[in-house]
Structure 1
Amino acid sequence: MIKVHCPNPISSAIRAAITAPLAGISMFAMAAPGAPQVAFMPLDYALIEIDQSATAYEQLVTRHDAVEIPISWNRWSGDDANQVNYKLNGNTVSTQTLGSGQSATGTATLSIDQGGRYDLVVELCNADGCSQSETKTLVVADTDGSHVEAINLNARENNQAYSNTTNSVMATYFVEWGVYGRNYTVDRLPAYNLTHIIYGFIPICGGDGINDGLKTIGGNSFSALQNACAGRDDFEVAIHDPWAAIQKPQAGHTFSTPYKGNFGQFMEMKAAYPDLKIIPSVGGWTLSDPFFHFGNAAHRQRFVASVGEFLRTWKFFDGIDIDWEFPGGYGATPGLGNADTDGETYLILMQELRVMLDALEAETGREYELTSAIGNSAAKLAVVDYGAAQEYMDYLFPLTYDFHGAWSNSVLGHQTALHASSFRPNEELQTDNLVNILLAQGVEPGKIAVGAAMYGRGWTGVADNGNHLMTGTATGPVAGTWEDGVVDYRQIAEFIASGEWQTFYDEAAEAPYIYRPGTGDLITYDDARSVKAKGDYVQQRQLAGFFSWEIDADNGDILNAMHEGLGHPLASGANRAPSANAGNDQTVTGPANITLDGSRSSDPDQDPLTYQWQQTSGPTVTLSNADSANPSFSVNAVDTAETLRFTLTVSDGKIQATDEVSVTVQANTPANTAPVVEVTSDVSVESTGTVSIVATATDVDGDTLTYSWSSNDGLLTIDNADSAAISVTATAVTQDTTAQLTLLVSDGTDTTMANIAVTITATDDGGNGGGNTCSDQDDDAANQPAYNANTVYLGGDLVSHNSLVWKAKWWTKGTAPGVGVEVWELNSAVELPWSAAKAYSGGDEVNYQERRYRAKWWTQGNQPSTSDVWVDIGTATCTP
């Protein structure tokens, strides 16, 4: 309705007095009035006004029954007028009669209570005709989207267009937060393939004790809700994330666009697809706690009233979805729920919502749907009499997924099976069982939709024991796309394409799963085959159709299969979305000329494509031929690396697709000079002795230097091997030996190596059996008690045996000393020849058959002359 307020109203007597003279002289008027000029005025108005900086719902939204539009005009020349008309879109909405001297200027205020785009013209008339002002376009924004242009879809990937010949429900959940990390905006929705979009999730206000379920996910979700609900009563609805919902600019939006974000794009989507149902879902896993308080009639009725207010405010919505997880309990907050009363509360809630929606229908002339996501087990469904509840409802969405997942590592299974599996034939957690329970309750088949999972659930550490993999156990959740244990279908498709996973299909359950043997990763999910099987089932049972969770995880395969499973053909002459390909990421060093490559973009219908490139981040460059497949630009040399990002948008004239590419400009770095190392080239150390070595290293570039000392022959032990100064301890040798010490000094780019020869000098025992003595006798044996098999020896006791002195390592009795006997160690300072019974460590040296050998690592029983564990280092020092 449009009302006009006119200043200086003219009485009928005055109007008659003015009109008569005008009529008398009309024969002398030679021309129409001069054209009026409308003064500067605001052109943009909003019936629902949004505060772009607010987070609290009470401050975010201001509702107006109408907008007041002041108009002022002037006539600067030409003949007088006796009438002014105000026209919107060519229709006269108000007329004023002008007296003598009143046609040079005028004002009026239009009151408009319907959104839309209006072409405003001010028209001055006299007896000889009319003259009009230039047109000004007024935009009166309203949340019914009456002011917006139809959306340009950017549906990517594998989505194809189908004809819904069965008039089935084709619903999907779109989540508020998907615009962030997932980068899934409303314009990516294949709306042409959908009947319903369910928007998740609208919260119910309340703090501690009301929304404790939100606290289970960490982060700031709970505090964000408190901010959003500031000023609102508990149990009223709000918007959890206003930025994502209504403030974040999306494609085609500017900061001044009245409605941005998800809601703004939904309005544009309704302009393109007016029959599409967009329904807000209240609740969800972490936002369901308030429902458990609805046994209190005041709380429940406050909620119902606020939902009505919400739908009056956001007029593009087509109803309400209740996602109470779950009546009777089983939800995010332990202890909540009462199986004896929640069912009745649910029934009353549906009844009161239906009454409210019926009143809203009478008020607006529109239809509003009431739907509900419901439980995924027999126990959950038993709490509510859905046969009674359906009287008030349009559709029920039993959650035919999340049957199994990584919340249990001991009981694995299919997460979205249609039937029971052969490995667990009595499985109750399957789609057919849920549908049968609802039908047994008296629910009409045409009100039940079956859920398709656009994601998988999985585990890691599942061993292949030769039986069905689902009969095994796991060690934890599989690494997920956004959270552990949950993997997007899109990523599952990539896993399969990699060739690293084994694919399986359980024909009894109609359920696919994949397995990666190296890690024991196991993922259960829906694929095209299992979804088509569900489609056959929907037709056989005459059910309503499909819904799915959640659209941002699908690459198009699952939604396509939902249609194909119901027998829907490709839309006749339907335009299919093009595919944008912005080419590979590039890395260059400036100065350089770079050419971007969008030539691999394609269109399945062979439609000609238009190209538009736009830089989205990084230092600004000038793109030449930005409307071609191969634009170019130049970059200069840079001191620090820079990354430039570009978005390619291709269009076939109806549907757009986008892709992104990045160009990294590496920093120009001067040629590196390797460090210079000075260190003594020859060092001498006695057997078992220690020597200090200091290296001096310099770097002309001033780079930080790192040191790494090493010796690979087992003769040297190095302390502080990562510093310039080290200490080196030599192993025991029986003859002078040369060991090799290596130093590596690095500046991070280049490495300089230095080698140091370390001479280990042997020591002589003066003829007492040690050092180079190869005698198998020790003169000291005569000074020790002879070993007695009946004597108990303690650790440290010395005995003589076979002309040698032996020391007990610990308590022993009855075990004679000898080479290789664990409890005894040789105490005599003699060198015995190699023995098969003795264990040797790396670096140990022995004489064998007139040759000298050194062990590379631990060994026992391997002959030095035939085993590669021994290194021949020369002539034997002596022979026995």
Structure 2
Amino acid sequence: MKINQLLILILLLSTSCLTSAQTSKSKKYIVNGYVGGFRGLVNTEQIDAKKLTHINYAFVNVQDSLAVLTNLATDSTNFRKLNALKLINQDLKIVISIGGWAWSENFSDAVLTESSRKKFAVSSVEIIRQYDLDGVDIDWEYPGMKGEEGNIYRPEDKQNFTLMFKAIREELDKLALEKGEKYLLTTAVGGSKSFVEHTEMGNVAQYTDYILIMTYDYGGKNGTVGHHTNLYADKGDSTMSSADRSVQNFIAAGVPAEKIGLGAAFYGKGWEAENITANGLGQKRIKSVQGGGYTKIKDTLINQNGYKKFYDKKAKASYLFNPVTKILITYDDEKSIKAKCKYVKRKKLAGIFFWEYFSDPKGYLLSEINENLE
């Protein structure tokens, strides 16, 4: 082969390798979507896998100190179909989420002793092994505090919460040695200051890859109407709950910023206000009403059916108000999502996660995240 031909061949190979590397380049930030498998079969054909880095499958139950698939037929099918999305996005990670609001009642018992923690950790990782998944997410609502009615909780939860992650990490490390793969351990955590006070988040961070702060479901204080997923406090009350305040509290507790996932709500929350003052904000709540998913809000409610759209510039939060029914609906939209993406970059956080994928089936918000967190 002539020298010129050899040089051309080397150049072509180099270009090919570079193109391949650019094609498979991972996203800089995590974009983690929760998918509700508890409803039954998941329509994975509607999931835009290229725009995600992680899917957290919700939920796995906790019974008798074991992680349990209570809908085995649909869960197993869903795992197979979700794994198939890796043909579209080879970097996509599928993680099981254990607990959630409805299935957290037995966590305290499950992690009470060293032997029970071992049992729980082994069963959690066995699901990963059996279905060839990528990690475990813990959504305990809430350690040391009352969550749903009937939940078991005790003061020892504070230390046992940490020890649970230690036990799961040890089992994941064993699987990693066996399979030659890296496995994830994450947790979804409440955004309140009380959650931080009832846990040892600095210690938990040593064992986890990401800590996903549920920066939604805030609402107003003392039974008043307020934003539910605002980035900042509004101008009327600098002490109100906000995503920024939650992030600051977790960082102060020892959680590295680069491990924090910021929560986005793909759904709205609604309340009937006592009166129309300030478009319902800060007024006494009369009752809760259905807010709906963002696709529904965007397509049928924004500046329609008696609702007018407003944007709180200080809080970086959107809301609708109907002065006739006195109903306010608070939600994330493209504008507030863009603000959250900027915040993630500025604060050097891990990225964004959201609940729940099919609350916005048209992908309005995921597209906004994808555009702003490349």
Q: Distance in 2 between matches of 1:329 and 1:288?
A: 11
Task: Decide whether the 8 Å contact of 2:38 with 2:59 is kept in 1.
Answer: no
Unmatched tracts of structure 1, length 5 or more: 1-161, 206-233, 247-260, 481-485, 569-880
SS of corresponding position for 2:55: strand
Greater relative contact order (Cα < 8 A, sep 6+): 2
SS of corresponding position for 1:308: helix
Task: Decide whether the 8 Å contact of 1:245 with 1:262 is kept in 2.
Answer: yes
Q: Distance in 2 between matches of 1:192 and 1:451?
A: 20
What code does the residue aligned with 2:363 have?
G
Query: How far apart are residue 456 of structure 1 and its match?
Result: 0.7
Aligned match of 2:250 in 414, 438, 461?
438
Q: Counterpart in 1 of 2:86? A: 270
Q: Distance in 2 between matches of 1:185 and 1:558?
A: 19
Aligned match of 1:385 in 173, 179, 200?
200
Q: Counterpart in 1 of 2:18? A: none
Aligned match of 1:171 in 9, 25, 32?
32
SS of corresponding position for 1:204: strand
Q: Counterpart in 2 of 1:192? A: 50
Task: Decide whether the 8 Å contact of 2:279 with 2:321 is kept in 1.
Answer: no
Q: Distance in 1 between matches of 2:196 and 2:24?
A: 33
Q: Counterpart in 2 of 1:375? A: 190
Q: Counterpart in 1 of 2:264? A: 452
Q: Distance in 2 between matches of 1:461 and 1:411?
A: 8
> What are the within-5 Å matches in structure 2 for residues 814-829 of structure 1?
none
> What are the within-5 Å matches in structure 2 for residues 550-699 of structure 1?
550-554=356-360, 555-566=362-373, 568=374
SS of corresponding position for 2:185: strand
Q: Deviations over 1:757-797 (max 9, x none)?
A: xxxxxxxxxxxxxxxxxxxxxxxxxxxxxxxxxxxxxxxxx
Identity of aligned residues (%): 33
SS of corresponding position for 1:203: strand
Q: Counterpart in 2 of 1:95? A: none
Q: Counterpart in 2 of 1:540? A: 346
What code does the residue aligned with 1:437 have?
N
Q: Distance in 1 between matches of 2:257 and 2:24?
A: 22
Query: How far apart are residue 326 of structure 1 and its match?
Result: 0.9
The structure carrying a bigger helix percent of its residues is 2
Q: Deviations over 1:246-268 (max 9, x none)?
A: 3xxxxxxxxxxxxxx31221132
What code does the residue aligned with 1:426 have?
T
Q: Is 1:417 equivalent to 2:234 in the alignment?
A: no
SS of corresponding position for 2:310: strand
Q: Distance in 1 between matches of 2:149 and 2:286?
A: 25
Q: Counterpart in 1 of 2:13? A: none
Q: Counterpart in 1 of 2:315? A: 509
Task: Decide whether the 8 Å contact of 2:105 with 2:151 is kept in 1.
Answer: no
Q: 1:446 to 1:164 in 2, by over 3 A?
A: farther
Q: 1:497 to 1:186 in 2, by over 3 A?
A: farther
Query: How far apart are residue 497 of structure 1 and its match?
Result: 5.6
Aligned match of 1:526 in 332, 346, 351?
332
Task: Decide whether the 8 Å contact of 1:462 with 1:522 is kept in 2.
Answer: no
What code does the residue aligned with 1:556 have?
G
Structure 1 length as normaliser, TM-score? 0.38
Query: How far apart are residue 237 of structure 1 and its match?
Result: 2.0
Q: Counterpart in 2 of 1:311? A: 128
> What are the within-5 Å matches in structure 2 for residues 734-749 of structure 1?
none
Q: Distance in 1 between matches of 2:104 and 2:88?
A: 33
Structure 2 length as normaliser, TM-score? 0.88
Query: How far apart are residue 336 of structure 1 and its match?
Result: 3.1
What code does the residue aligned with 1:170 have?
V
Q: Distance in 2 between matches of 1:267 and 1:537?
A: 31
Q: Distance in 2 between matches of 1:409 and 1:374?
A: 22
**Runs of 4+ in structure 1 over 6 Å off:** 162-165
Q: Counterpart in 2 of 1:203? A: 61
Q: Counterpart in 1 of 2:301? A: 495
Task: Decide whether the 8 Å contact of 1:461 with 1:520 is kept in 2.
Answer: yes
SS of corresponding position for 1:504: strand
Q: Is 1:238 equivalent to 2:68 in the alignment?
A: yes
What code does the residue aligned with 1:277 have?
K
Q: Counterpart in 2 of 1:354? A: 169
SS of corresponding position for 2:31: strand
Q: Counterpart in 1 of 2:20? A: none
What code does the residue aligned with 2:356 have?
E
Q: Deviations over 1:193-224 (max 9, x none)?
A: 0000000001122xxxxxxxxxxxxxxxxxxx
Task: Decide whether the 8 Å contact of 1:178 with 1:552 is kept in 2.
Answer: no
Q: 1:543 to 1:390 in 2, by over 3 A?
A: same
Q: Distance in 2 between matches of 1:322 and 1:424?
A: 33
Q: Distance in 1 between matches of 2:57 and 2:214?
A: 16
Q: 1:303 to 1:441 in 2, by over 3 A?
A: same
Q: Distance in 2 between matches of 1:189 and 1:468?
A: 36
SS of corresponding position for 2:70: coil
Q: Distance in 1 between matches of 2:107 and 2:147?
A: 11
Q: Deviations over 1:361-415 (max 9, x none)?
A: 000111100000011200111211211111111000011001128xx99322110
Aligned match of 1:296 in 89, 109, 113?
113
Task: Decide whether the 8 Å contact of 2:273 with 2:283 is kept in 1.
Answer: no
Task: Decide whether the 8 Å contact of 2:196 with 2:253 is kept in 1.
Answer: no
Task: Decide whether the 8 Å contact of 1:321 with 1:373 is kept in 2.
Answer: yes
Task: Decide whether the 8 Å contact of 1:422 with 1:509 is kept in 2.
Answer: yes
Q: Distance in 2 between matches of 1:308 and 1:537?
A: 34
Q: Counterpart in 2 of 1:13? A: none
Q: How many residues align?
A: 349
Query: How far apart are residue 190 of structure 1 and its match?
Result: 0.6
Which entry has the higher C-alpha Rg, 1 or 2? 1
Aligned match of 1:464 in 259, 270, 276?
276
Cα RMSD between the aligned structures?
2.1
What code does the residue aligned with 1:436 have?
Q
Q: 1:526 to 1:305 in 2, by over 3 A?
A: same
Q: Is 1:477 equivalent to 2:284 in the alignment?
A: no
Task: Decide whether the 8 Å contact of 2:272 with 2:327 is kept in 1.
Answer: yes
Query: How far apart are residue 178 of structure 1 and its match?
Result: 4.3
Q: Deviations over 1:166-215 (max 9, x none)?
A: 510000100114457xxx5112111000000000001122xxxxxxxxxx
Query: How far apart are residue 165 of structure 1 and its match?
Result: 7.6
Q: Distance in 2 between matches of 1:298 and 1:469?
A: 52
Task: Decide whether the 8 Å contact of 1:164 with 1:563 is kept in 2.
Answer: no
What code does the residue aligned with 1:311 have?
I
Q: Distance in 2 between matches of 1:383 and 1:453?
A: 24
Q: 1:297 to 1:333 in 2, by over 3 A?
A: farther
Q: Distance in 1 between matches of 2:135 and 2:274?
A: 44
